[in-house]
Structure 1
Amino acid sequence: MGLKAILAKPFATYIKFKVNNWANNPVKTQEKVFKELIKQASQTAFGKDHDFNSIHTFEDFKKRVPVRDYEGLKAYVDRAVNGEEDVLWKGKPLYFAKTSGTTSGAKYIPLTKESMPNHIEAARNAILLYIAETGNSSVVNGKMIFLQGSPILTEKNGIQLGRLSGIVAHYVPAYLQKNRMPSWETNCIEDWETKVNAIVEETLQEDMSIISGIPSWVQMYFEKIQQTTNKKVGDVFKNFNLFIYGGVNYEPYRAKFENLIGRKVDSIELYPASEGFFAYQDKQNENGMLLQLNSGMFYEFIKADHFFDEDPERITIKDVEKNVNYVMIISTNAGLWAYNIGDTVMFTSLKPYRIIVSGRIKHFISAFGEHVIGKEVEYALKEALQVFPQVRVSEFTVAPQINPEAGLPYHEWFIEFENKPKDFTEFSKYIDESLQKQNSYYFDLIEGKVLQPLKISSLKKHAFQNYMKSQGKLGGQNKIPRLTNDRTIANQLTKYLL
């Protein structure tokens, strides 16, 4: 056993103790974070505009600070981007994580001296809690790869700009620098296909033990390894035993990955975003990720079903319930206040607080009042893949077909199969029945002959990669929405129908 593996075990035990301290005192931890945030930002432009000096309770906060999305906060962000100090948080941000926006064009999410360490520590702690639980510290001996965006940063008014994954690349701890892959030069390649080819070339002879990234792009890396070597990934990398992922649900990819690897490997799910590192999987056999309550972020929750009401109720973790779909609202030490990140979550545990990401508040299908969400379609497909184990799916998305050429409207599933079902009718029927069990509105619409059962449109190999490439979104942190309420994506995907 290497020195790093030996030292990792006591360090993992220490971190587990620290995490348990705040996880076992969740309400007090969040109250402390809340008070500190208000105190630190009281003299900022935002704090003065919203009378932070008179905020002493969550009730005070709700009265003074409305829920906003990026558009609602943009006027303040623009001032900070232009170089003004003490706008949303004290001083100037260290960075802006640049992401693609919607109506506002590019979004600039601030990262501060206080918020940046939380991104690094959460990723580190996820691995350490895995080691503490499993005793498998050997994963730190081998090489680790994090498929991410380019670390090249630009500068604007004295503040550096870049993708979050590229910014984080500058913070790899010194003790991991020798283990880290790919090389800096390869990581800086902008074109994703060129970059993946270079990564394959660099890593083939290395002892890879940890591989991390968004599943759809890691899959592309694995496929290229298999094409190059004619071997399973697990045979090329004998000591690869830990896959770390985030961004999308892994379950639809699991069977495909196990086939590419040639065996099962442990996995850790992360929930990072430019706005904060919100949660990570802390137990191998527990559903959900541990919500980060002690990381400079204060959380509010609004029931998704009531989010678009005139005055929806805003609650803290103290009042949340399990298995309810909530929109997550955050206030952070990066200067985001009552900020709607757009994600919906469900609590799987309240002792400690664990969540799953159930979808996006804007990503749902409700063309007929069914309000089908991402979690429901992912679960339905997961169930079907368990019943039809020979079927493997590379990628999928769902859209409503409102005006079919014949018959009733339906939900159209665009699926790129690695292995197709022998009986599409039975496979489709199983998915549809699972959706009906989960969603009573969908059941009523099928039962009432408003909708007909879903239909599957099978796509050519690499259809989703080609679609993403056509949109200039191949690789990095980009991902396909699981479902949309219109046919913008669906109409593009029809080019790739088998």
Structure 2
Amino acid sequence: MGLKAALSKPFAAFIVKGLNKWKKNAVAAQKETMLQLLADAKDTAFGKDHHFAAIRNYEDFKKRVPVRDYEELRPYIDRVVAGEKNVMWKGKPAYFAKTSGTTSGAKYIPISKESMPEHIKAARNALLTYIHETGNAGFVNGKMIFLQGSPVMTEKNGIKVGRLSGIVANLVPAYLQKNRLPSYASNCIEDWEEKVAAIVEETYRQDMTLISGIPPWAQMYFDRLSEKTGGKQIKDIFKNFQLFVYGGVNYEPYRAKIEASIGRKVDTIETYPASEGFIAYQDSQQDKSLLLLAKAGMFYEFIPADEYYDEHPTRLSLEDVELDKNYALILNTNAGLWGYSIGDTVKFVSKNPYKIYVTGRIKHFISAFGEHVIGEEVEQALLAVANEEGVGITEFTVAPQVNPAAGELPYHEWFIEFSNVPEDIKAFSKKVDKALQKKNIYYFDLIEGKILQPLVIRPLPKDAFVNYMRAEGKLGGQNKVPRLSNDRKIAEGLIKLTDKI
């Protein structure tokens, strides 16, 4: 065992001991976090406008701080971007994480000198909890690759601007830098396909032990590695590959294909980082749920997902959440986001400790006919049938067909790129439809009432989604295809591309 691996075990034990303290007292940690955030920001423009100094408890907080999305907070954020101090958080941000918004154009998410260390600490602790639980520390002696955005940053009114993963790349601890790939030069390549090709050249002869990235882009890396090495599986290219760390999308639709590419099972760690904060990570190999980070500079609120668009939805703190119920996640952070609707939905599966699954996006659902089908339901329905039938799924998305051909009922149209197409696509579609009816009573009623016809699956050719993302200028990085839409923008884009083939 190398020196780093040997030293990591006692360090992991020390860190886990500290984590266990707040895990058992998460509600108290959240109350303390809320009061500390308010105290730190009471003299900011936002704090004065919302009378932070008068807030004594969560009930006071809800009365004074409304829930807002990016557009609604934008008057304040624009002042921060313009270089004004003490607007939403004390001083100026250390960075802006630049993301693409659907209605807002470019979004600038502030990252403060207080919030940035929490991103680094959470990523580190995810690995240390794994080491402590499994005793497996050997991967720290090998090479580690993080498939991420470019670390190149620009400046806006004296504040550094970049993608979150690129910002983090500049802050990797020194003790990991020698083990880390790809090189800075390769990481700076903007074109994703060119970047992956460069990464393959740098890594295919290395002793890679840890690989991290969003699953579809990790799969592209694995495919290119296999092509480079004459069809070898990853286990034969990287004989000591032990750990795959991922986040950004549900892994389950990709699991079968990624494991087939690797050639054997490897341990995985799911993480839940966002530009707004590092929210949760998987802390046990025996449990796929994610530990909510209750002491990480963020105060969380939760709105029942089915009330989100109500005029006066219920707002809950951690203390009052219920198990197995979908909630829209609201953040208050030590970077100055207040009552901020991040757009994600989560479901609690444990309250001792508080652990969650990410179930989808509040805007990514289908309710063109009143069915309110969510991402978790379509993923579980499809995967249950795919696993039963031995069918591999590369990627998929679902859209409503509101205006079908004359004489037909409307339906949900599923665009699926299979790694191996079912022998009988109609029979496969029927099974998926039945599985979805069991997941969603409203969908069942619409099928039974002959308002909708059963779903229709449109198989897509290889690389259909890669080609679509390339055409949209969103190939690689943190970009991913929404699983559900209420319109047909993605559907029509896929049809247009595939009809050319």
Fold agreement, TM-score > 0.5: yes
Structure-2 separation of matches of 1:309 and 1:371: 15
User: Which residue of structure 1 lines up, in the alignment, with residue 134 of structure 2?
Assistant: 134
Q: Secondary structure at the match of 1:221?
A: helix
| 1:290–1:352 contact (8 Å) kept in structure 2 | yes
Q: Give the superposition deviation at 1:157.
A: 1.1
Structure-2 separation of matches of 1:427 and 1:143: 42
User: Which residue of structure 2 lines up, in the alignment, with residue 491 of structure 1?
Assistant: 492
User: Which residue of structure 2 lines up, in the alignment, with residue 33 of structure 1?
Assistant: 33
Structure-1 separation of matches of 2:122 and 2:132: 15
User: Which residue of structure 1 lines up, in the alignment, with residue 279 of structure 2?
Assistant: 278
Q: Give the superposition deviation at 1:267.
A: 0.5
Q: Which amino acid aligns with 1:469?
A: R
Whether 2:346 is the aligned partner of 1:340: answer no
Q: Which amino acid aligns with 1:462?
A: D
Give CA deviations for 1:194-249 in whole Å, capped at 9, x if unaligned: 00000000001100000010001111000000111120011100011111100101
Structure-1 separation of matches of 2:494 and 2:163: 27
Q: Give the superposition deviation at 1:464.
A: 0.3
Q: Map 1:416-435 onto structure 2 (within 5 A).
A: 416-435=417-436
Q: Which amino acid aligns with 1:216?
A: P
Q: Give the superposition deviation at 1:102.
A: 2.4
Whether 2:182 is the aligned partner of 1:182: answer yes
Give CA deviations for 1:254-294 in whole Å, capped at 9, x if unaligned: 11011111111110001111011100001112131000100
User: Which residue of structure 1 lines up, in the alignment, with residue 62 of structure 2?
Assistant: 62
Q: Secondary structure at the match of 2:476?
A: coil
Q: Secondary structure at the match of 1:256?
A: helix
Number of aligned residues: 497
Q: Map 1:433-472 onto structure 2 (within 5 A).
A: 433-472=434-473
Give CA deviations for 1:297-352 in whole Å, capped at 9, x if unaligned: 00000001011111011001111011101000010000000100011111111111
Structure-1 separation of matches of 2:288 and 2:217: 24
Q: Map 1:347-358 onto structure 2 (within 5 A).
A: 347-358=348-359
Q: Which amino acid aligns with 1:428?
A: S
Give CA deviations for 1:82-130 in whole Å, capped at 9, x if unaligned: 1111000000000000111122211000000000001001111111111
Structure-1 separation of matches of 2:348 and 2:262: 31
Structure-1 separation of matches of 2:418 and 2:27: 45
User: How high is the sequence identity, in percent, across the aligned residues?
Assistant: 65
Structure-2 separation of matches of 1:288 and 1:78: 36
User: Which residue of structure 1 lines up, in the alignment, with residue 112 of structure 2?
Assistant: 112
User: Which residue of structure 2 lines up, in the alignment, with residue 359 of structure 1?
Assistant: 360
Structure-2 separation of matches of 1:208 and 1:381: 33
User: Which residue of structure 2 lines up, in the alignment, with residue 395 of structure 1?
Assistant: 395
Q: Give the superposition deviation at 1:407.
A: 1.6
Q: More displaced, 427-436 or 357-366?
A: 427-436
Q: Map 1:1-400 onto structure 2 (within 5 A).
A: 1-229=1-229, 230-389=231-390, 391-400=391-400
Q: Give the superposition deviation at 1:425.
A: 2.1
Structure 2: which 5+ runs fail to align?
Answer: none
Structure-2 separation of matches of 1:59 and 1:154: 41
| 1:435–1:442 contact (8 Å) kept in structure 2 | yes
Structure-1 separation of matches of 2:354 and 2:287: 12
Structure-1 separation of matches of 2:250 and 2:428: 20
Structure-1 separation of matches of 2:311 and 2:75: 23
Q: Give the superposition deviation at 1:418.
A: 1.0
Give CA deviations for 1:170-214 in whole Å, capped at 9, x if unaligned: 111111001100000100111100000000000011000000100
Q: Which amino acid aligns with 1:141?
A: N
Structure-1 separation of matches of 2:427 and 2:196: 37
| 1:401–1:409 contact (8 Å) kept in structure 2 | yes
Q: Secondary structure at the match of 2:419?
A: strand
Structure-2 separation of matches of 1:15 and 1:457: 49
Moved over 4 A (4+): none
Give CA deviations for 1:28-54 in whole Å, capped at 9, x if unaligned: 100110010000000000000111110
Structure-2 separation of matches of 1:272 and 1:357: 11
Q: Give the superposition deviation at 1:14.
A: 1.1
Structure 1: which 5+ runs fail to align?
Answer: none
Structure-1 separation of matches of 2:104 and 2:259: 40
Q: Secondary structure at the match of 2:310?
A: coil
